[in-house]
Structure 1
């Protein structure tokens, strides 16, 4: 009689997407010189709003170690290649010491010693910001309020008014 084998993996319910893609994403980051995802994932927090939209870390290049160097000895800092737009590249070059200090402060030791701007559009990670609604004309605002006037529930009435403003203020011309 044949024995039943256990499956190679066991489902334990719903798993977060971060757990599923962490290993392949970490492998891709290691190919670019990043030991962890921290610099890529926390880039907007590290550099602040001035560079969050116009720059992104691309590659971390570590210098080669001499053969006789012991692991505990002082290491040489890496060169961080940063993808950025043209104007941001010039600003980043001028403010490089402050950006390097913020990166090294985030990690708690001297990881980056020099920045190398690369004028390519940065790759966006995360959701795009929502578009701002277009201001409605007074006639359209009155029409939205008139359509929602017959609703008794205050929460539902407010939601219908928000929906009416979003549809009425659609800047792409769809109705």
Structure 2
């Protein structure tokens, strides 16, 4: 299994693992997951890595239909600017491939920020660490295990 699943099992967290057949031609990974699993897109969250102007890498978790507001992420992280990390850099830092980057079980624990849209939700879906594999868990468990802070990060 993936490091993300192992981390949840080790923590004794309640979660559900959902799988689907990933189309290797797609690059819209989150949309594919929502469609394949029959979920509303705003219940599926994508995990993005960004580099801050002070050199730190951070993780941002936002709903699939939204864009990451890089200025808002920089503010939340106490920096002036942020830019999306290079995909190869994201893969090296997390140990996962793009399209399968999970916020859990990463090689190195990075500062993590979770969009405030999770408030009031009982469960959200995030990558389980492999394309075609999703985790369903409570946002509070995700925040606790990643050390994530909530912030307004998403732009529709």
Structure 1 or 2: larger helix share? 1
Query: What's the TM-score once normalised by structure 2's chain length?
Result: 0.23
Report 1 or 2 for greater relative contact order, CA contacts < 8 Å, sequence distance ≥ 6.
2
Structure 1 or 2: larger strand share? 2
Task: Report the structure number with the largest CA radius of gyration.
Answer: 1
